[in-house]
């Protein structure tokens, strides 16, 4: 999506079926309400059942938060902006992310809606359980808190002005990603990985 095709009003129609179309929209509070109990329960389970001490669980939890930021960067750069000539794959990418670039001010699609979010989160937890074993129980809640913070920051960037002076670089990085070049500025919750991998907007 090139900058001259950006529409600052309206929203994309993703499905002909009105019920499927309804499932593509959500509000941040719905997603927070969905995942906070999961985060709380898994942290409790980590200490009460999985054998982790409070300090250990807290450490792994914060590793999960940090792990989200790298996952966010990789997904945004290599999946959401994947370039292909195959029509079906292009349609999938447009549904996942391209519509957001065409209608960046569509507040109803700044979070992944509940149904696909739960499916993807369940799959990610399954992979983490296989790879990390019982460490997945404190790591996954941190990862999901990272996602919630990312989604909230993303919503705020598109809905409001920076609330604090220190937040201005985040706002700038993401706005430049939308309005100047889609080949840079992939970090939303942090610009760390853009700096590490050379995709940060300089100047």
Q: Per residue in 84-129, pLDDT tens?
A: 999 999 999 999 999 999 999 999 999 999 999 999 999 999 999 9
Q: Longest C-alpha distance within the chain, in Å?
A: 55
Question: Where do the domains of the chain lie?
Answer: 3-197
> For residue 1, what pLDDT is reported?
45
pTM, rounded to two decimals: 0.93
Residue 6 — very low, low, confident or very high, per pLDDT cuts 50/70/90? confident
Rounded to 5 degrees, what angle do the CA atoms 186, 188, 194 make? 40
φ/ψ (deg, to 5) at 157: -60, -40
Q: What mean pLDDT value characterizes the chain?
A: 94
Q: What is the pLDDT of residues 31-75, one digit of tens each?
A: 999 999 999 999 999 999 999 999 999 999 999 999 999 999 999
Instruction: Band the pLDDT of 28: cuts 50, 70, 90.
Output: very high
What's the confidence (pLDDT) of residue 2?
47
The pLDDT confidence band at residue 4, using thresholds 50, 70 and 90, is low
Burial class, 49, CB count within 10 angstroms (exposed 0-12 / middle 13-18 / buried 19+): exposed
What share of the chain in percent tops pLDDT 90?
88
Contact criterion met (CB below 8 Å) for 124 and 68: no
**Cα gap 169→86, rounded to integer Å:** 36
pLDDT of 3 reads 45
Per-residue confidence (pLDDT) for residue 103, from 0 to 100: 94
């Amino acid at each position: 999506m090139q900058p001259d095709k950006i529409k600052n009003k309206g929203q994309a129609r993703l499905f002909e079926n009105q019920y499927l179309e309804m499932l593509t929209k959500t509000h941040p509070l719905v997603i927070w309400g969905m995942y906070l109990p999961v985060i709380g329960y898994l942290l409790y389970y980590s200490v009460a059942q999985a054998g982790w001490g409070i300090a250990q669980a807290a450490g792994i939890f914060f590793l999960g938060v940090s792990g989200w930021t790298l996952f966010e960067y990789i997904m945004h750069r290599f999946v959401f902006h994947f370039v292909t000539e195959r029509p079906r794959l292009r349609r999938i990418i447009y549904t996942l992310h391209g519509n957001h670039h065409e209608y960046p001010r569509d507040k109803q699609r700044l979070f992944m809606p509940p149904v696909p979010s739960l499916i993807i989160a369940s799959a990610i937890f399954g992979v983490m359980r296989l790879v990390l074993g019982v460490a997945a129980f404190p790591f996954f809640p941190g990862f999901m808190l990272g996602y919630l913070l990312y989604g909230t920051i993303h919503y705020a960037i598109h809905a409001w002005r920076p609330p604090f002076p220190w937040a201005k670089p985040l706002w700038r990085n993401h706005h430049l990603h939308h309005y100047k070049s889609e080949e840079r500025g992939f970090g939303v919750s942090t610009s760390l990985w853009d700096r590490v991998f050379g995709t940060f907007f300089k100047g």
